[in-house]
Amino acid sequence: MKEEKLEREDLKGVFAKSMAGHDKNAYYIIWDWDADAVLLVNGRNRGIGNPKKKKRKHVQIHRNQPVCSGRTDPEIRKAIQEYQRSKNGGEYVKG
Amino acid sequence: MSVTIKSQREIELMREAGRILYEVHEGLRKELKPGMSTWQIDKLGEEMIRSYGCEPSFLNYNGYPASICVSVNDEVVHGIPSKDRIIGEGDIVSLDAGVIYKGYHSDAARTYGIGEVSPEAQKLMEVTKQSFFEGIRYAREGNHLHDISAAIGNYARQFGYGVVEDLVGHGIGQHLHEDPNIPNFPQRRRGIKLQAGMTLAVEPMINIGRPDVCWLDDDWTVVTEDGTLSAHYENTILITKGEPEILTLR
Nearest CB partner across the interface for B189, out of A89, A93, A94: A89
Yes or no: say if B55 and B49 are a contact pair by the CB < 8 Å rule.
yes
CA-based max dimension of chain B: 48
Yes or no, beta carbons of A23 and B219 under 8 Å apart = yes
C-alpha B132: how far from its chain's center? Answer: 10
Q: Is B91 on the interface with A (CB under 8 A)?
A: no
pLDDT tens for each residue of B206-231: 999 999 887 776 878 999 988 999 99
What sign for the dihedral angle of Cα B7, B57, B87, B78? Answer: negative
> Which amino acid is located at B91 in the chain?
D
pLDDT tens-digit profile of A12-57? Answer: 899 998 888 777 778 899 999 888 899 999 988 888 999 999 999 8
Q: Name the residue among B226, B185, B225 with its Cα closest to residue B203.
A: B185
Residue A77 DSSP SS3: helix
- For residue A26, give every residue at least 6 positions away whose Cβ sits within 8 Å of its Cβ, in sequence order, or none: A17, A18, A42, A93
Helix axes B145-157, B119-136, angle to 10 degrees: 160
The predicted complex's ipTM stands at 0.83
First-to-final CA distance of chain A: 45
Q: Please indicate if any CB of chain B lies within 8 Å of the CB of A44.
A: yes
Of the candidates A21, A89, A92, the beta carbon closest to that of B167 is on A92
pLDDT at B109: 98
